[in-house]
Amino acid sequence: MRRAAKGTPATPLELTLAAAALAESKNARDIVILDMSGLVSYTDYIVVCTGQTPRQTKAIAEELRIRMKADHGVVPRTVEGAREGEWILVDLLDCVVHVFTPESRDFYRLDRLWKEAPRQEYVAAAS
């Protein structure tokens, strides 16, 4: 386990839950967390979520980029697809977040592609 700086999630799952919470704070829908730890070597978790429009997907991805750095000291390795906004990938290393428009999520079916991955629906903590 990596040593966490103050405010930094200590485990990949904590990082993933923080990213899912940030997406939810920008009204992302249908947030699903896939445990990839036994399936791929490039990440431990994948978060898949939906924004209603390209403008909203861009806002979700921007919130992730800014707040993960500010709140947790985690800088995304890369952000892809932000110009178009149909499918944005935010690579946080331990966690990769995919932000889709509804049409792109239906087309790519990433949830089904990784159907063998243990999955959980993200449920926001009660305030």
Domain annotation covers residue 70: yes
Give the tens place of pLDDT for each residue, 40-99: 999 999 999 999 999 999 999 999 999 999 999 999 999 999 999 999 999 999 999 999
Q: Give the residue among 75, 67, 76 at the shortest CA–CA distance from 98.
A: 76
Question: What's the alpha-carbon Rg for the chain, to the nearest Å?
Answer: 13
CATH of the domain at 63: 3.30.460.10
Output the average pLDDT for the chain.
91
Say what the pTM is.
0.90
Residue 94 lies in a domain: yes
Is residue 3 assigned to a domain?
no
Shortest CA distance to 64 belongs to which of 91, 84, 85, 86? 91
3-class SS at 68? helix
pLDDT for res 2:
38
Domain count, the chain: 1
Host domain of residue 51: 12-121
- Whether residue 28 has pLDDT greater than 60: yes
Q: Does a structural domain hold residue 28?
A: yes
